[in-house]
A = this chain, B = another copy of it.
Amino acid sequence: MEKPTLPKGTRDFGPAQMAKRQFIFDNIRKVFQKYGFQPLETPAMENLTTLTGKYGEEGDQLLFKILNSGDFLAEVDNEKFVSKNSKLLTFDISEKGLRYDLTVPFARYVVMNRHEITFPFKRYQIQPVWRADRPQKGRYREFYQCDADVVGTDSLLCEADIVLMIQEVFGALGILDYTTKINHRAILSGLAELTGSQNESSLFVAIDKLDKIGEEKVKEELRSRGFEDKGIDAVFSILNFKGTTEEKINFLTTQFANSEKGKKGLTDLQEVLQLLQNYSSTGSTNANAHVEFDISLARGLSYYTGCIFEVKINNVAIGSVSGGGRYDNLTGVFGLPDVSGVGISFGVDRLCDAMEELKAFPEEARISSKVMIAHFDESTFHYSLGVARQLRSRGIATEVYPDQAKLKKQLDYANKKMIPFVIVIGSDEQKSGLLTLKDMQKGAQQQLAIDAIAEALKNN
């Protein structure tokens, strides 16, 4: 018999990994809810008409498509069929696909439910997405996204809340050294204006690579795309400007004296920083902490129109772990124009890898019984059930070793499962009611009555 395998690019998450992932999910969920976001879940399958055309041609090819059920070839036109052309036949034999992100299903949901939804609508969504990408280190065909979006308001308070949520999530996860980069689409447009070229998107695509390929190669690329040296120099005099956020803003204010777009971007940015300042009027931490205005931050600009964000954990060789921004026309493609929104997305897989590297997972990111009960014979086994019930009734995760086995085997099981405490019940213990509580890490043990054991376990 052939050994079973997993599809390429997919993973099982066993107990140890699950506990770590749930720790991340739970903290993100808690923060989202603390900021007034409410949960949404959409189906894994969407109609292909909903999905295609939203992610560019490459995205369309990366959609996992579901084969129609039943006799899926029956209705296919014969002439078309004999062409044996995969591309041509795809939509005849498949009308559903797996979601590619959480944004398009969210837009679809908003449009379908616009009469019931109270706007501004703040929703979060934590679900897997699927992409038929070539699997490689850190890139999977199934992975989770954790998104929070507000739609139906252009208040910049939403942007400020996103910065704060990032701060709270990283604080809760115990990640201390990170940078929340912020920029604005209109500032990039202002930059493009300075080049005298109309070719905004080429500029953004090139700038986006600055980190990876360096200044010279970016300049080369821009030249090859028809940008003039003078314009390129103007752009880099800005990109290379060093200073505090305030100094950068002052510098750009003079550079953008004639750029309406550039000015708009700066005003928005200053408003967001001001709102964060107001948030900081109380509380111990500075709401502006970790925030860095990065003029070279470009991101996937296809639908962003306002502020954009990206979070990078410092001193860890992992790309950005979170990103987002404002978009002005998310639902337009489904026939509902002018719904402005802003969102943030956390990448759990990268967060998990980074926390692993930083050894940032706390004790509590482990899910196991708190205590296992070991027993010596039929009688102590039966006696242990009453003990287990009392502990469980106090909320203590408890298991009784299910079989009659040597004590060593029972303790081995507890050890391997990282169960921190074991209660050993022999006939003496059963008689006296004083049970042996063993601390598996320290090796220490003491004789205690059940109430005292429950207390000790609760406090530990």
A interface residues with partner B (beta carbon < 8 Å): 1-7, 10-15, 18-19, 21-22, 33-36, 38-47, 49-50, 61-62, 64-67, 69-74, 76, 78, 81-82, 84-87, 89-90, 93-94, 96, 98, 108-109, 111-113, 116, 118, 120, 122-123, 128, 130, 132, 141-142, 150, 153, 155, 157-158, 160, 164, 168, 275, 278-284, 287, 334-335, 367-369, 372, 382-383, 385-390, 392-393, 395-400, 402-403, 413, 416-417
Contacts and interface: CB of A to CB of B under 8 A. Distances in A.
6 contacts: A5-B112, A35-B399, A36-B368, A67-B67, A282-B386, A282-B387
A36 B413 contact: no
Contacts of A280: 389
Contacts of A14: 40, 109, 113, 116
Given A11-B43, A150-B402, A157-B402, A35 B392 contact: yes
A112 B45 contact: no
B155 A123 contact: no
A272 to B, nearest CB: 12
A372 B157 CA distance: 14
A119 to B, nearest CB: 8
B368 A44 contact: no
A39 B18 contact: yes
Q: In the complex this chain forms, how many copies of it are found?
A: 2
Contacts of A47: 4-7
Nearest to A48: B7
B397 A33 contact: yes
A413 B122 CA distance: 12
Nearest to A73: B86
B46 A71 contact: no
A100 to B, nearest CB: 13
A36 B142 CA distance: 28
Nearest to A392: B34
Contact of A1 (B64, B287, B334): B334
